[in-house]
Structure 1
Amino acid sequence: MSLTLRPYQPSDAAVITSWLKSEYLMRQWCADRYEHYPVMPEDMNEYYERYIDGQRSRAFTMVDGDDIVGYITLRTPTDDPAEQRLGFVIVDDSRRGCGLGKALVTMTVKYAFKTLGAMKVSLGVFENNPSAIHCYEASGFHSVLRHDTESYECLGETWNCIEMEQHKEL
């Protein structure tokens, strides 16, 4: 594998949205950020145009040669750029279990620390997504307690988030 991270391009959307094989998987990926299933490429690009500004929020596509194999966002959740937050983490469903998720997360965390000067990278993951939790732990994240548990109404259920973070080694 020859994995690289590059800025998201609107032409990537058709491949990325094709990985969302069910509404359950789509909600694990984006919670309530998209109103309906299936998410179409134009929905993804509309979201990108509205919320990804290239300064406080960035979107990346991971490629293996010419193949699109992953997607992730990175944003500054507060006015302090020392914290960056991962979101919308997804890899090619036909290549799961091959270390792509760990590579995607690790490359993005490295970018946050080295390029953006972050001291902490955080994320929220649904507690009903054990494979994602394992991926984040394998990438160096650990769970932290929040005063308020973030939760979303998804598919008639309440899904709770686990807050995770990783600090830059000094």
Structure 2
Amino acid sequence: MRLREFIPADAEHIVSWISDEREFRCWCADRYESFPISANDIVEQYAEGVKGGSFFPFTATDENDSPVGHFILRYPDEDKSIMRLGFVILRKSVRGKGMGCELVSLAKKYASEVFKAQKLTLGVFENNTAALNCYSSAGFTQMGSSGQLPFLGEIWTCIEMETQL
């Protein structure tokens, strides 16, 4: 798996990976208010963040340069010693094969080596067991209190996690 900066053409792949509403809520419920989203929704939102210089989307590719995953690193505030990891998602055909943990490890490496961050944080819904297991095995631990958000007629608890780099 290799990383490269996100390009607008990658948005079509991301939309296809979250084509089911329940899955959409697991991955990006706090970022987009409605479903479905379009590739243009992603491109427009990313352009705004990238322009500000604190938002860095990446695409993971396989040996054939085909997109297999995606994530965002961003600075949550002016203190650039902390980064936030978000919107970690894999192509459906590669899920359950350990690639999620590999993608998270690459994100941690970039946050530490490229951006010189000292800590990486994220928020993950407790209903997304696969993501929780992946982040826990990558060294993330729960921090602070958890907030609750209503989605699809359920209350979902968003767990805040962090890891030292």
Match of 1:7 in 2: 5
CA displacement at 1:157 relative to structure 2: 2.6
Contact preservation (8 Å) 1:62, 1:70: yes
For residue 129 of structure 1, report the CA deviation from its aligned partner.
0.6
Within 2, Cα distance between the matches of 1:161 and 1:52?
25
CA 1:142–1:32: 2 relative to 1, 3 Å: closer
Matched, 1:133 2:132: yes
Match of 1:154 in 2: 151
Q: CA RMSD in A?
A: 1.4
Stretches of structure 2 that go unaligned for 5 or more consecutive residues are none
* Superimposed CA distance per residue, residues 123-163 of structure 1 (whole angstroms, 9 cap, x where no aligned partner): 010010110001111212112233xx333232233221111
Q: Find runs of 4+ consecutive structure 1 residues off by over 2 angstroms.
A: 50-55, 149-153
For 2:147 and 2:79, how far apart are their aligned partners in 1? Answer: 21
Is the 8 Å Cα contact of residues 126 and 160 (structure 1) preserved in structure 2?
yes
- The answer for the alignment partner of 1:110 in structure 2 is 109
Q: Which moved more, 1:105-114 or 1:47-56?
A: 47-56
Three-state SS of the structure 2 residue aligned to 1:10 is: coil
SS at match of 2:162: strand
The residue type paired with residue 84 of structure 2 is R
Q: Distance in 1 between matches of 2:98 and 2:4?
A: 18
1:47 aligns with 2:45: yes
Aligned residue runs from structure 1 range 78-89, under 5 A: 78-89=77-88
Secondary structure of the corresponding residue to residue 51 of structure 2: coil
Equivalent residue number for residue 99 of structure 1: 98
Q: Is 1:61–2:47 an aligned residue pair?
A: no
CA shift for structure 1 position 81? 0.7
Q: How many Å apart are 1:54 and its aligned residue?
A: 6.6
Structure 1: 5+ residue runs without aligned partners? none
Aligned to 2:164: 167
Distance 2:18 2:48 in 1: 21
Q: Is the 8 A contact 1:32 1:154 kept in 2?
A: no
One-letter amino acid of the structure 1 residue matched with residue 60 of structure 2: M
Residues 51, 152 of structure 1: alpha-carbon distance in 2 compared, 3 angstrom cutoff: farther
Code of the aligned partner of 1:101: G
Identity %: 43
In 1, distance between residues paired with 2:51 and 2:96? Answer: 32
